[in-house]
Amino acid sequence: MKIARETLQFIFEVCKSSAPREFAGMLSANGDVITEVIVVPGTESSDESAVMQLFMLPNIHTVGSVHSHPSGNTRPSDADLELFGRKGLVHIIVGAPYDRNSWTCYDKDGNPIKLEVVEYKFKDEDDLL
Ligand code: ZN
Residues 89/64, Cβ–Cβ less than 8 Å:
yes
Asked if residue 127 belongs to a domain, the reply is no
Domain total in the chain? 1
How far is the centre of ligand 1, averaged over its atoms, from the C-alpha of 112 (Å)? 14
Give the chain's mean pLDDT: 86
Mean pLDDT on 3-29: 93
The tens digit of pLDDT for each residue in 20-76 reads: 888 888 899 999 999 999 876 655 555 556 666 666 666 567 899 999 999 999 999
Looking at the domain assignment, is residue 11 inside a domain?
A: yes
CATH of the domain at 11: 3.40.140.10
pTM, to two decimals: 0.85
Ligand 1 centroid – CA 120 distance (Å):
28
- Ligand 1 centroid distance, CA of 5 (Å): 22
110: pLDDT confidence band, cut at 50, 70 and 90?
A: very high
**22 catalytically annotated:** yes
Q: Is residue 128 part of a domain?
A: no
Catalytic residue among 6, 13, 22, 36: 22
Give DSSP secondary structure letters for 107-118.
-TTS-EE--EEE
C-alpha span between 28 and 67 (Å, rounded):
14
Is residue 35 situated within a structural domain? yes
Nearest partner of 70 among 37, 97, 91, 49, judged by Cα: 97
Q: How far apart are CA 72 and CA 89, in angstroms?
A: 23
Q: How far is the CA of 128 from the centre of ligand 1 (A)?
A: 38
Domain span including residue 101: 2-122
Per the domain annotation, does 64 fall within a domain?
yes
Does 129 reside within a domain?
Answer: no
